[in-house]
Amino acid sequence: MSRHRRGTSEQSGASSPAVHELDPTAFHHEALLYEGDDGFLGGTLPFVRGAIAAEEPILIAVSARRIALLKEALGADADRVRFANMAELGANPARIIPAWQEFVVEHAARGRRLRGIGEPIWAGRSGAELDECHRHEALLNLAFADAKGFRLMCPYDTSALAPDVVAEAARNHPHVRSAERVEASPAWSGLEEIAAPHRAPLSPPPADAFELSFDLSTMAAARAEVARRASAAGLNGRTDDLVLAVSELLTNSVRHGGGAGTLTIWRDGGAVICEVYDHGTIRDRPLVGRERPLRGQLGGYGLWLVNQLCDLVQLRTVPTGNVVRAHMRLAPACPMTPA
C-alpha cells in the first residue's frame, strides 16, 4: 500500500490541489469524488498536467464527452495524452484490466512511472453492470499490486451517482480524493477480502426461465437449445457468439465442475441471459477471465473467451459450487452512453 505524507502538489504549471507525497515504488489507486463538468476538470487536469510535466505516459479512459472536455482544456498538450472511449472499452467491465495491463507492460521495461484515469461507472449503468464495475475496481488492486510507480485515478460523479455507489468506491480504493485533499480511505476493504471468492448475491432467474440439466452426453442438445432460444428472442447475428460462449462454460463444467451442471436461459428486457451452474470451485484465481492468457499456456482460455464474446459476464461462488451468467444484448450497442 502506498505511504504518503502532506506537503506536495501536482506539477501543473497552475494552482493545484495539495496532495500527499506518494511512494514512487508502489501502485497508487484512488477514487476522485467530483460534481459535474467543473468538478471533473478541477480534479483531473492537475493530475494530467502533472504527468505531462514529468514526461510520464498517461492513458485516460472516460466517456467521449469527457475526452472532448479534457482535450479542449489541454489544448496542444492533448497530443501528449493517450485517450480511450470507456463506453466502448468498458462496455463489459471485465475487458478493462487487460487494457491497463497492456499499457503498463508497454512502458514497464523502460522503468517509467505511469498514470491513468479510468471512469467505468456512470449514471445509466444497470444494476448488474454496476456490480461488475465495483468488482473490477476492487480487482485493480490485485492486478497491479506489483506495478511500481503506476498511479490510477478513478472519477465518480457524486452529483449523478447514487450514494451507495459512491460508498462502494471508498471500499474499493485505498485512497479517496475530494476537493483539495487525497486521504487514505477508512472504508478500504483490503486485499485479503478482495482476493476471496466473489459471493455477492445474484437476482434469481424468473419463474418461467428454461432450465436444463446437462452432462457430457447432452452438451449438444444444450447448445442447440441456446441457439433456438437466442434466435427466437431476436439475437440474430450474435447467436453463434452466444452459443460458443455457453459451449465454453458447459465444457468447463464437465471438465472441472463435477462432470455435470444446470443451464438456465431467459430473456431480460433487451438481453438474452444464459446461466451455467456446477459443483466446481474456483479458488485462488480472482482475476480469472480478466487477464489475457499467455502465449502457450495450458488452460485458462474459457472464461477469457466468454468475456470477449459477451456483453456482461457475472461469476459467483456459492456454497455448493459456481455460477456464471453470460449476458448478450439483442443489439450490439454499448450500455447507456455516459455523459
pLDDT at 58 > cutoff 50: yes
Domains of the chain: 4-195 (3.40.50), 210-329 (3.30.565.10)
pLDDT attached to residue 2? 32
pLDDT at 10 > cutoff 60: no
DSSP H helices in the chain: 36-53, 64-74, 86-89, 96-108, 127-143, 163-172, 191-195, 219-233, 239-256, 302-309
Q: Is 258 buried (19+), middle (13-18) or exposed (0-12) by CB count in 10 A?
A: middle
Q: Output Rg (C-alpha) for the chain, integer angstroms.
A: 21
303-319 pLDDT, tens digit each = 999 999 999 999 999 99
Strands 181-184 and 260-268 come out as unpaired
pLDDT attached to residue 299? 62
* φ, ψ of residue 86 in degrees (nearest 5): -65, -25
pLDDT attached to residue 1? 32
- Conformational region of residue 180, where left means phi above 0, alpha means psi within -120 to 50, and beta covers everything else: alpha
Provide CB contacts within 8 A for 261, sequence distance 6+. Answer: 213, 214, 215, 250, 253, 254, 276, 277, 278, 279, 321
d(CA 171, CA 232): 42
Lowest mean pLDDT among 72-81, 260-269, 282-291, 326-335: 326-335
* φ, ψ of residue 48 in degrees (nearest 5): -65, -45
Place of cell 431476436: 234
d(CA 205, CA 266): 8
User: Would you say 95 and 307 are in contact if contact means Cβ atoms under 8 Å apart?
Assistant: yes
d(CA 327, CA 202): 13
pTM of the shown model: 0.90
110-138 pLDDT, tens digit each = 778 999 999 999 999 999 999 999 999 99
pLDDT attached to residue 236? 86
Rounded to 10 deg, the angle between the 239-256 and 219-233 helix axes is: 150
What percentage of residues in the chain have a pLDDT greater than 90? Answer: 80
Give the DSSP per-residue string, 233-252: HT-GGGHHHHHHHHHHHHHH
Instruction: Report how far apart, in Å, the C-alpha atoms of 232 and of each of 29, 64, 237, 270 are.
Output: 45, 34, 12, 13
229-263 pLDDT, tens digit each = 999 999 988 999 999 999 999 999 999 999 999 99
User: Which 8-state DSSP code applies to residue 298?
Assistant: S
pLDDT at 9 > cutoff 50: no
11-49 pLDDT, tens digit each = 433 333 334 566 777 899 999 999 999 999 999 999 999
184-199 pLDDT, tens digit each = 999 999 999 999 999 9
